Amino acid sequence: MSIDITVTVGGAAGQGLQTVGDLLARVCHRAGLYLMAINDFESRIRGGNNFFQIRISDAPVNAPRQPVDLLVALDRRSIREHRPRLSDRGLIMADAGSSNKGEKGEMEGVFTLPIRDLAKEAGGAITANTVAAGACLAILGAPWDLVRETVEDFFSGKSRKVIDQNIAAAEKGHEAGRSVKFQGAFQWPDGRERKGRLLTGADAAALGALAADCRIAAFYPMSPATPILVSLASHIDRFPLVLEQAEDEIAAVNMTMGAAFAGVRAFTATSGGGFALMTEGLGLAGITETPIVIVNAQRPGPATGLPTRTGQADLPFCIHSPQDDSPRFILAPGTVEDVFNTMVRAFDLAWKYQAPAIVLVDQYLCDSMFIALGEMTVPESIPIYTITDADMPDPSAYQRYAFTESGISPMALPCAGQALVKVCGNEHRVDGHITEDATLRRRMVEKRQSKIPAMRGEMRPPSAHHPDAETLLVGWGSTIGPLREAVDMLRSDGMDAGCAHFTDLWPFPAEAAERVLKKAGRRIMVEGNATAQLGALIREQTGIVADGTVLKYDGRPFFPREIADAVLEQTR
Amino acid sequence: MTDVELYHNDYENKWCPGCGNFGILEAMKDALAGLDIPPSKALIVSGIGQAGKTPHFLKCNFFHGLHGRALPVATGAKMANNDMTVLVNTGDGDCYGEGGNHFLAAVRRNVDITALVHNNKVYGLTKGQASPTSDMGMTTKVQGKGVILSPFDGPSVALSLGAGFVARGFAGRMDHLSGLIQAAIRYSGFALIDIFQPCVSFNRRNTWQSYNESVYELTEENHDPADLDAAFKLCRQGDEKIPIGIFYQKETVSFSDRIEVLREGPLVSRTFAPARVQNLLNTY
Ligand SMILES: Cc1ncc(C[n+]2csc(CCOP(=O)(O)OP(=O)(O)O)c2C)c(N)n1
Ligand code: SF4
């Protein structure tokens, strides 16, 4: 890797950071570079300090870096916040007209450009973020025609006037930026060969739902799940799809269930607090054996916690809620490709086993942009797991909860034929009517539980990077990028390190886990929670006790260097 | 016309003898038969409580879900397949208490479902605590000194939210109630029938006798269902004279009809188009 640059664009909420960030990412993508970008923002609409941080490289990158090479400060506060992270070759660029009063010496070494003035010249203060993007790209050495093409493309949905204003703004920024000397500037590729797809985890979840033939999404807005629905909403006109903002999460999960019961693939997406409200519904899906998919985009809790930040602390909650036992799947994809493919799989598994499937993602994965290089497979057809009158010897004798060897009863749809479909959240007989009979109750519990071995058989083993290493870092979900890079760092530091990464968490693939984990001399749990939740699960399911932990619960994503340093510290 | 006997189900009924729910059950069967909707074409969604058990006692497709959550399940089912006739059986506690937020939203959403609120002004299944519709002063084992909250009136709330079909029925007037249910099913949009239903075990105030003495039917002569102000007044008449019938009806565009994609046919019968997903994916 000869290029590895981190650019941070900082400013207040409401300053249009997202536009700057999107433009930077698209220009890099168009040029055939690799990138990954995180969005770090506060739970407010105006003010505060937010930043967008993009890592640009000529080799695949899947984790953020901490040191900042180029800081584009749209306000003074960003200078204060991010200067301490500046790398040796670091440069700060700020708006000359930055009006808020700074401390003495604050502007030292800061390169200023008249961003706001240039924006006004280009057609309005509103284009300031495009000026900033143009300047930033020029500082990095990006050629003007590449920037122009991207701006044109980016604003293509808007009026000609808006497009032209933004091109003018980008050009003014670019001209001004060219005069800035930056050690990190690099030679941009000549071609326009895009590497992979540029998307966020939220985009991937929405696309995955569509690829799974999902036709109904019911939801109640909650960060960081909302971007999934916003992304889905942008595709609404192309598909037979209904998106309904429910009155609350309880309604959302119950609507999802009603839709699935009537034969349409449906899902809901929320975060921990909303998931808490959905748990009774999760139980209803369990006892009624209704195939629903719930995406839980985790954020730190409990209660409101840190609304716009990231964490991985809902694993036991998803495994154990609500009351009593009922089978479910829990899948925690690590990459954007994986989010897409996992959505397809979650729907398939839910319908195949008539059980709820929970997809665990988090703010880091939902809001960050990645280049997806791996396969994202749209199935050619969707298997039909339901039956009709034609499949029954006598439709009038249909029983929704008939006992079978697999525990899975043939599922018919209401009002689709003569067969009456009777579904009940009370304990029920095979025909769906309420029962309190002790023997039947026992048999129904056993019927539902009997699906679990086959469900477990569907679970994939943890993936491993240097599986035979002496020291194995162990993680799950969105941390796969930082984990693998940390392993590479440790190995170049001379340590025999590897990692095992879990995506399929429930029913827990205990045997596979044991096989991978027991070989290592030392196992260190790396998790985004305070108690090593996966570590506890592994211990419960395999008896293997981890030898150390690297835990982060400050709401920020993992950086590979910090994982590597923490591991070195523990193993010294 | 479909034979009423077709709706007969031999699953053991679990209501108390003399309960008002029997009248509602018979009216439902009669209405479905009258409209020629066979059991296989009707979906009944219900919540929890004595009212919630209703679909077990007739032949139909049903989803008997959680306390308070029948309306969202019905909404989801209707979104998936808007060709189905969907009815909801719910109690006053189920609909206006535990599920109050869903009730408000269902009216605003105007999903084409018929909501039958079995209003016995008490929590029956949990043995007689106050419900949102209990009269002030009613004593129960829990509310020993009498209910001190003012009662919730479903019909006037629905009217204030712009509902297009609001009616009140009485479990003791089976034929009249059947007529109301038929009108509600025929209505395109959310139709509320709040049905006074005597609970012989736990409600000593709102009894068969008291209703029989005070109930009167609305006719063309004494009420114009297009008159919203008059409808509000009907909701608030005291216990001496209780009007039953359609309080208010106006044409509305139902939820399904407001959604373009649903006008093209039920979602459940669409085909999967992988190429379209692939094309979209390729734009990233
Ligand atoms: C979440 C939840 N809370 C409480 C209950 C207990 N519960 C069952 S029925 C009911 C009240 C039913 O009253 P109503 O809706 O008026 O119906 P009725 O039985 O009178 O027909 C309650 C509180 C429950 N089943 N679920
Ligand atoms: S408790 Fe009341 S509402 Fe319930 S079945 Fe008995 S009489 Fe009917």
| Cα angle for residues A524, A526, A528 (degrees, 5° grid) | 155
Running DSSP on this structure, what letter comes out for residue B8? B
Q: B161 and chain A: CB distance < 8 Å anywhere? A: no
Q: Which ligand is nearest to the CA of B52?
A: 1
Give the count of alpha carbons within 13 A of A489, CB side only.
19
Contact between B79 and A432 using a beta-carbon 8 Å cutoff: no
The reply to whether ligand 2 has any atom less than 6 angstroms from the CB of B201 is yes
Average pLDDT over residues A45-73: 94
User: Nearest-CA residue of chain B relative to A30?
Assistant: B284
Nearest Cα to Cα of residue A313 among A269, A350, A275: A275
CB contact (8 A) between residue A262 and residue B81: yes
Residues in chain A with CB shorter than 8 Å from the CB of B105 are 246-247, 251
Of the candidates A211, A242, A284, the beta carbon closest to that of B267 is on A242
Q: Which of A516, A490, A522, A523 is closest to A502 using CA atoms?
A: A516
The verdict on A469 and A443 lying in the same domain is no
Cβ-based contacts of B69 with chain A (< 8 Å) = 250-251, 254, 281, 284
Element (H, E) at B142: none
pLDDT, residue A419, reads 98
Q: Ligand 2 centre from A169 Cα, in Å?
A: 73
**Where are the extended beta strands (E) located within A288-425?**
293-298, 329-331, 357-362, 369-372, 386-387, 411-412, 422-424
- Give B37 Cα–ligand 2 centroid separation in angstroms: 28
**Is the per-residue pLDDT at A306 higher than 60?**
yes
CATH number at residue A467: 3.40.50.920
pLDDT category at A47 given cuts 50, 70, 90 is: confident
Instruction: State the pLDDT at residue A98.
Output: 63
Q: Are A480 and A335 in contact (CB under 8 A)?
A: yes
Q: Is the CB of B24 under 6 A from ligand 1?
A: no
Q: Which of A376, A380, A381 sits opposite B281 (nearest CB)?
A: A376
Is residue A241 one of the residues assigned to a domain?
yes
Q: In the listed set A372, A404, A422, which residue is the last one of a domain according to the structure? A: A372
| Domain assignment present for A379 | no
Query: What's the pLDDT band for A103 if we cut at 50, 70, 90?
Result: low
Looking at residue A1, what is its pLDDT?
75
Q: Residue B272 and residue A203: Cβ atoms within 8 Å?
A: no
Question: Does one domain contain both A526 and A562?
Answer: yes
Q: Is residue A140 part of a domain?
A: yes
Domain boundary among A195, A224, A244: A195
> Which of B12, B13, B16 has most ligand 2 atoms within 8 Å of CB, for mutation?
B16
Nearest 10 degrees: CA dihedral of A550, A553, A558, A563?
A: -20
- For chain A, the 3-state helix, strand and coil shares in percent, each to the nearest 5, are 40, 20, 40
Q: How confident is the model at residue A44 (pLDDT cuts 50, 70, 90)?
A: confident
pLDDT tens-digit readout, A349-388? 999 999 999 999 999 999 999 999 999 999 999 999 999 9
Helices (H), A53-159: 76-82, 115-122, 128-140, 144-154
Q: Are A348 and A494 members of one domain?
A: no
Same domain membership, residue A295 and residue A251:
yes
Q: Indicate if A22 and A111 belong to the same structural domain.
A: yes
Same domain, A42 and A125: yes
Q: How confident is the model at residue A100 (pLDDT cuts 50, 70, 90)?
A: low
Interface of B with A in 194-213 (CB under 8 A): none
For the CA of B127, the nearest atom of ligand 2:
1
- Mean pLDDT, chain A, whole residue set: 96
Decide if B37 touches A, using CB distance below 8 A: no
Nearest CA to ligand 2 atom 8: B19
CB A376 within 8 A of CB A210: no
End-to-end CA gap in chain A = 29
Q: What is the dihedral of CA A562, A563, A564, A565, to 10 degrees?
A: 50
CA of A30 to the centre of ligand 2 (A): 69
Same domain, A431 and A548: no
Does B81 sit within 8 Å of A425, measured CB to CB?
no
Q: Which of these, B141, B41, B182, B128, lies nearest to A418 by C-alpha position?
A: B41
pLDDT at B108: 98
Strand (E) positions, A380-470?
Answer: 386-387, 411-412, 422-424, 463-465
Predicted confidence band at A42 (pLDDT cuts at 50, 70, 90)? Answer: confident
Q: What is the mean pLDDT of residues A20-34?
A: 97
Q: Where are the domains of chain B?
A: 4-282
* CA pseudo-torsion sign A474, A480, A485, A486: negative
Mean pLDDT in residue range A85-92 = 95
In tens, the pLDDT along A235-258 reads: 999 999 999 999 999 999 999 999
Asked whether residue A166 falls in the same domain as residue A110, the answer is yes
Pick the last residue of a domain from A195, A230, A254: A195
**Ligand 1: residue whose CA is nearest its atom 22:** B126
Span of A32-46, A308-322, A469-483, B94-108 with lowest mean pLDDT = A32-46
Q: Does domain B4-282 have CATH number 3.20.20.120?
A: no
**Minimal C-alpha gap between B142 and chain A (Å):** 26
Helix axes B100-109, A249-261, angle to 10 degrees: 60
CATH (domain of A293): 3.40.50.970
Residue B12 has pLDDT above 90, yes or no: yes
Task: Quote ipTM for the complex.
Answer: 0.98
pLDDT at B240: 86
* Count of structural domains, chain A: 4
CB atoms within 10 A of CB A104: 6
Domain of residue A411: give its range: 386-455
Residue A99: per-residue pLDDT: 52
Distance CA B70, CA B88 (A): 7
- Is the pLDDT score of A104 beyond 90? no
Please report which confidence band the pLDDT of residue A108 belongs to, taking 50, 70 and 90 as the band edges. confident
| Chain B residues close to A422, C-beta within 8 Å | 55, 61-62
What is the percent of chain A where pLDDT is above 70?
99
Q: Which whole number is the average pLDDT over A175-179? A: 95
Q: Are residues A488 and A566 in the same domain?
A: yes
Same domain, A51 and A100: yes
Instruction: Calculate how close chain A gets to B97, using CA atoms only, in Å.
Output: 14
Residue A488, Ramachandran bin (φ over 0: left; ψ between -120 and 50: alpha; else beta) = alpha
Question: Searching chain A, which residue's CA lies closest to the CA of residue B47?
Answer: A425
Q: Are A534 and A317 in contact (CB under 8 A)?
A: no
Please check whether residues A183 and A213 belong to one and the same domain: no
Model confidence at A27: pLDDT above 70: yes
Residues 6+ apart with CB under 8 A from B59: A420, B6, B7, B8, B9, B39
Instruction: Give residue A102's pLDDT.
Output: 60
Q: Which of residues 215-274 of B touch A (CB under 8 A)?
A: 259, 261-262, 264, 267-268, 270, 272-274
Dist CA A300 CA B227 (whole Å) = 53
**A377 falls within a domain:** no
Residue B19 CB–ligand 2 contact under 6 Å: yes
Does A402 share its domain with A477? no
Query: Which residue type does B146 have?
Result: G
The per-residue pLDDT for A87 is: 96
Q: Which one of A35, A199, A232, A255 makes the best mutation probe of the B interface by having the most chain B beta carbons within 10 Å?
A: A255
In the block, which residue shows the tokens 């020993």?
B144
User: Quick one: pLDDT at residue B238?
Assistant: 80
A479 to chain B nearest CA, in Å? 23
In a domain, A380, yes or no: no
Q: Which residues contact B11 (CB under 8 A, 6 or more apart)?
A: A433, B56, B57
Indicate yes or no: CB of A420 within 8 angstroms of CB of B270.
Answer: no
**Chain-centroid distance, C-alpha B215:** 20
- How far is CA B62 from each of CA A410, A419, A433, B53, rounded to the nearest angstrom? 17, 12, 10, 10
- Which chain B positions have a beta carbon within 8 Å of A419's beta carbon? 40
d(CA A77, CA A83): 10
Mean pLDDT of the region A260-282: 98
Contact A254 B105 (CB under 8 A): no
- Give A503's contacts (C-beta < 8 A, 6+ positions apart): A331, A332, A333, A334, A338, A342, A460, A462, A463, A476, A477
- In the reported structure, the alpha carbon of residue B218 is separated from the centroid of ligand 1 by a whole-number distance in angstroms of 32
Angle in degrees, CA A552, A555, A560, rounded to 5? 50
- A53: tokens are 């941080």
